[in-house]
């Protein structure tokens, strides 16, 4: 019986303080390493601080994952022989699919026999374009031609593919075992691709059904395979794209790539960064599906970060450190993803460390008892150097257990390499820069890599033979698409001074404009405190002089704060001091901290966002330390901090001319609780226009929900809360239009959002507008920045305001791509917008333009961002609640941007 190990989950970071001046790393370049949303210049590392309290100017918010622990362990050593199931490889052949795989993208064909169970190459196709007669292409802007990271897949229209259902008796759950048995009868059935339950072939079998008896080479058990024809695959229906993706995946095997996890990487092209002990494996992500007129293959470049040290190296390091080495080791490895260095290069997530089990421990197999040391020597000719090292434990997922894998998998530390990067590496600017130099590719180099990838596919005999067998061909040229560039927007500052406006320009940035222009609306700051830890008094004095000077240039009146010194910056001391200060009803409290410890930041925010409703501004001493001792170097940071403080008081730094006089623009996003993954927080932020007022008024709300709980009711109820806030702000009138930008929706969740959330919101709106002269006009967008599409203009990045709404868009959607931000390094990532419902009465052209305008209104950055500002605000608020507050903030703050 396998032992029950402790179960550890990776959790969202208790990442402290808002703002950072760290590196600008494209997290898109990492698989199994780091990930990020937004980020500075469209990228952003997972390190640093997630917000911008200190005026770091980040365009996105950063997340990292430390680890939490729960459960108990039993030191039993009698384990199943999981190794034969895990490590055995099924040979692959010219037209057979290797080994089924273990999942992939959500959606596709699912459920029961006959559904797709193996690699899911396509997201579920959800038809959201209700009226195909409505033109979804716009016409405003300057027309240009772009290149994309797509290749056309040329198909033989007369090609006919036969679809068969495969049944095994006795029933088998492990897809690799099914593929291995099926491979034995390949001479009788010809070339095929197999996805775990369905077999596709160009050959029509002689009899229907056909039955075969095969023997498992490992267990010597006999199995009966029944193949029954269930239909044909023709044209470009959904099943055809399952076949094309299976074919393409097998064709990529001809490039001699290495399957690591679920993606293909090229270990021969790895880049070693020795000073940081990491290797970068370049790889490819591909998907084939029907686009507007053609079948296209999207090809994106990716990288996997591999550490050169093993888990055993970390163990030795912990042994030489002070403190409890067991606790230190667990903190370093729990939740990390490791790759075994022998045989299969599979990846595992570490759930526990068993110090009572070592390589000399025995486990039971069908052939008898055997030690781990004997097993690795006999099977891989590997000699374990340290027989006393503890064993790593990985817990199998439920679906893998159902497929026959053991609940717990034991791994040898010295044979396990850690993927990804550590928190210390993320905080190391030079390390992140070194990684970014290889992963953050400029458009010209990205195009070269894509063309090289295509050329390798064409020149590889094994790859080309696969395409020829299936009567398909990959076009050699990157797909070109027509695009339009919208005119730059005008940014307005002080409303009483006509000259206070600037053109956003080609780069869509206006940071320098604050040297000569006042903010649009300011709130005088007269009653506020600064909490300073001992030894940092001089820093705050110098910074205050810069802050007041920067604020005066923007017509933001700041009086001298009352400074409070504390003996140290422990969370307890801060809470005690803040408890006294909030009793004096200040407008704002600024807290200076020495580092980015999460518990301190969480304590500050809980006291001032939950217990009492007081806006806070958290700054790190490093942020306000003058470079080279020159205080003038702080003016840029002071300007950003002044803008943030004004926003938290209810001020407005700038506005963009809104073509809609009565409208409420809503952003919605969700975030898991970093301490309790069974809970999550949904945040709604509304930007409200009406009553003849040219600047927006804001409303925000947060709700807590249980894991797996449907969000449609929460979203609808929060929309109604925003409607009531609109009424209270503009004289009991309702907005003529409601525009919702729904973020945080993966392709696998699109169907649910389309069927439930939109309908629930519309139902609540109809009830709210009942008895009114006008009806509610709802426009519902799904916003997705995590996409693989890339756009190139003359081998450079497109300028902000670039719209693509044809060729690479999807026929079943009312969608478009928008490049709304500029990047100085790397390749810009466009944002995909999918309109699920539109009652606005506006043309596609005006909706695209209005969306671009909304990307100008994020006050943490003096420029455009990758998503509409309300989406970025909602993400900030959800992250604050889920990572630091762990509860719903006070409703007294709901009309201020206190979460910036």
Lookup: tokens for 509: 């940035």
Q: Is 743 labeled as catalytic in the residue annotation?
A: yes
How far apart, in whole angstroms, are the C-alpha atoms of residue 810 and residue 292? 5
Cα(325)–Cα(313) distance, integer angstroms: 13
Q: Out of 669, 673, 815, 838, pick the active-site residue.
A: 669
d(CA 315, CA 324): 12
Q: Please state the φ and ψ torsions of residue 444, each to the nearest 5 degrees.
A: -65, -40
Q: Which residue matches tokens 């365009």?
A: 59
Which residues face 589 on adjacent strands? 529, 616
* Cβ(5)–Cβ(352) below 8 Å: yes
DSSP assignment of 858-888, as one string? Answer: -TTSSB--SS-HHHHHHHHHHHHIIIII-SP
Query: How many other C-beta atoms lie within 10 A of the C-beta of residue 594?
Result: 14
Distances (CA, A) of 679 to 358, 395, 708, 714, 881: 36, 22, 9, 14, 11
Q: Classify residue 32 as left (phi > 0), alpha (psi -120 to 50) or beta.
A: left
In degrees, rounded to 5, the angle at the alpha carbon of residue 865 between the alpha carbons of residues 862 and 870 is 100
Q: Nearest CA to 680 among 888, 412, 497?
A: 888
Is residue 47 within 8 Å of residue 427, measured between CB atoms? yes
Q: ∠ at Cα 342 (337, 347), nearest 5°?
A: 20
DSSP-assigned letters across all residues of 337-383:
EEEESSTT--EEE--EEETT--TT-EEEETTEEEEHHHHHHHHH---
What separation in angstroms does the CA of 879 have from each of 148, 426, 516, 673? 33, 19, 34, 9
Report how far residue 63's alpha carbon sits from residue 459's, in angstroms, rounded to the nearest whole number.
41
Which of 743, 805, 815, 845 is catalytic? The answer is 743
Angle between helices 758-768 and 712-729 (to 10 degrees): 30
User: For residues 245 and 101, what is the distance between their CA atoms, to the nearest angstrom?
Assistant: 13
How many Cα atoms occupy the beta-carbon half-sphere of 427 within 13 Å? 10
How far from 643 is each of 143, 162, 779, 897, CA to CA, in Å? 36, 64, 31, 11
| Residue 710 near residue 683 (C-beta atoms within 8 A) | no
Active site residue 669: yes
Catalytic residues: 669, 743
């Amino acid at each position: 019986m396998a032992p029950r190990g402790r179960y550890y989950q990776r959790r969202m970071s208790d990442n402290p303080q808002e703002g950072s001046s760290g590196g600008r790393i494209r997290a898109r370049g990492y698989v199994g390493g780091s990930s990020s949303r937004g980020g500075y210049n469209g990228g952003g590392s997972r390190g640093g601080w997630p917000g911008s309290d200190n005026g770091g100017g980040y365009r996105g918010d950063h997340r990292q994952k430390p680890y939490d622990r729960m459960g108990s362990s039993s030191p039993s050593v009698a384990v199943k022989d999981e190794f034969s199931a895990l490590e055995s490889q099924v040979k692959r052949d010219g037209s057979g699919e290797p080994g089924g795989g273990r999942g992939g993208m959500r959606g596709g064909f699912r459920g029961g026999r006959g559904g797709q169970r193996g690699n899911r190459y396509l997201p579920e196709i959800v038809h959201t374009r209700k009226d195909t007669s409505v033109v979804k292409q716009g016409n405003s802007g300057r027309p240009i031609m772009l290149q994309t990271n797509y290749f056309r897949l040329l198909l033989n229209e007369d090609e006919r593919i036969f679809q068969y259902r495969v049944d095994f008796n006795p029933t088998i759950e492990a897809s690799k075992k099914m593929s291995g048995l099926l491979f034995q009868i390949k001479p009788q059935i010809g070339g095929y691709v197999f996805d775990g339950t369905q077999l596709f072939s160009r050959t029509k079998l002689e009899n229907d059904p056909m039955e075969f008896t095969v023997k498992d080479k490992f267990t010597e058990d006999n199995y009966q395979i029944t193949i029954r024809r269930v239909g044909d695959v023709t044209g470009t229906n959904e099943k055809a794209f399952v076949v094309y993706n299976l074919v393409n995946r097998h064709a990529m095997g001809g490039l001699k790539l290495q399957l690591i996890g679920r993606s293909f990487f090229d270990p021969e092209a790895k880049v070693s960064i020795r000073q940081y002990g990491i290797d970068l494996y370049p790889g490819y992500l591909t998907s084939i599906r029907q686009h507007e007129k053609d079948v296209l293959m999207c090809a994106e470049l990716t990288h996997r970060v591999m550490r050169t040290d093993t888990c055993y190296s970390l163990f030795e390091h912990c042994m030489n450190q002070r403190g409890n080495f067991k606790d230190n080791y667990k903190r370093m490895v729990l939740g990390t993803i490791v790759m075994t260095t022998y045989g299969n290069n599979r990846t595992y997530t570490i759930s526990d460390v068993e110090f009572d089990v070592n390589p000399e421990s025995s486990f039971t197999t069908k052939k008898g008892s055997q030690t781990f040391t004997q097993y690795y020597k006999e099977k891989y000719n590997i000699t374990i150097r340290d027989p006393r090292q503890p064993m790593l434990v990985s817990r199998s997922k439920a679906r893998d257990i159902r497929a026959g894998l053991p609940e717990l998998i034991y791994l040898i530390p010295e044979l396990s390499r850690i993927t990804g990067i550590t928190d210390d590496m993320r905080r190391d600017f030079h390390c992140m820069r070194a990684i970014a130099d290889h992963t953050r590719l400029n458009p010209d180099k990205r195009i070269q890599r894509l063309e090289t990838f295509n050329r390798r596919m064409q020149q590889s005999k094994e790859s080309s033979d696969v395409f020829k067998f299936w009567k398909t061909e990959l076009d050699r040229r990157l797909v070109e698409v027509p695009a339009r560039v919208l005119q730059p927007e005008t940014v307005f500052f002080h409303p009483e001074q006509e000259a206070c406006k600037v053109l956003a320009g080609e780069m869509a940035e206006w940071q320098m404009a604050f040297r000569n222009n006042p903010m649009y609306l300011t709130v005088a700051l007269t009653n506020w405190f600064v909490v300073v830890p001992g030894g940092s008094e001089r820093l705050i004095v110098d910074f205050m002089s810069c802050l007041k000077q920067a604020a005066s240039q923007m017509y933001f009146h700041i009086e001298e704060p009352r400074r409070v010194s504390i003996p140290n910056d422990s969370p307890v001391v801060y809470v005690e001091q803040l408890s006294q200060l909030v009793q004096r009803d200040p407008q704002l409290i600024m807290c200076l901290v020495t580092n980015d410890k999460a518990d301190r930041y969480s304590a500050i925010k809980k006291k001032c966002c939950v217990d009492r409703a007081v806006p806070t501004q958290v700054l790190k001493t490093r942020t306000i330390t003058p470079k080279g001792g020159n205080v003038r170097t702080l003016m840029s940071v002071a300007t950003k901090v002044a803008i943030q403080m004004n926003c938290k008081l209810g001020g407005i730094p700038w506005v963009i001319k809104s073509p809609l006089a009565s409208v409420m623009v809503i952003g919605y996003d969700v975030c898991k609780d970093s301490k309790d993954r069974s809970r999550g927080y949904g945040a709604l932020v509304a930007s409200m226009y009406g009553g003849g007022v040219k600047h927006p008024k804001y409303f925000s709300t947060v709700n807590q929900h249980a894991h797996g709980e449907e969000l449609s009711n929460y979203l609808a109820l929060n929309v109604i809360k925003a409607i009531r806030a609109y009424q209270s702000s503009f004289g009991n009138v309702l907005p003529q239009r409601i525009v919702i930008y729904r973020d945080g929706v993966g392709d696998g969740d699109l169907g649910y959002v389309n069927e439930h959330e939109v309908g629930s919101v519309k139902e609540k709106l109809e009830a709210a507008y009942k008895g009114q002269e006008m009806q509610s006009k709802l426009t519902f967008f799904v916003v997705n920045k995590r996409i693989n599409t890339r756009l190139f203009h003359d081998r450079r990045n497109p300028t902000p305001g670039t719209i693509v709404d044809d060729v690479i868009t999807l026929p079943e959607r009312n969608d478009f791509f928008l490049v709304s931000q500029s990047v100085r390094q790397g390749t810009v990532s466009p944002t995909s917008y999918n309109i699920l419902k539109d009652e606005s009465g506006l043309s596609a052209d005006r909706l695209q333009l209005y969306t671009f305008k909304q990307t100008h209104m994020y006050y943490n950055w003096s420029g455009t961002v990758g998503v509409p500002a309300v989406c970025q605000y909602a993400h900030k608020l959800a992250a604050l609640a889920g990572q630091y507050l762990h509860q719903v903030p006070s409703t007294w703050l709901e009309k201020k941007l206190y979460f910036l």
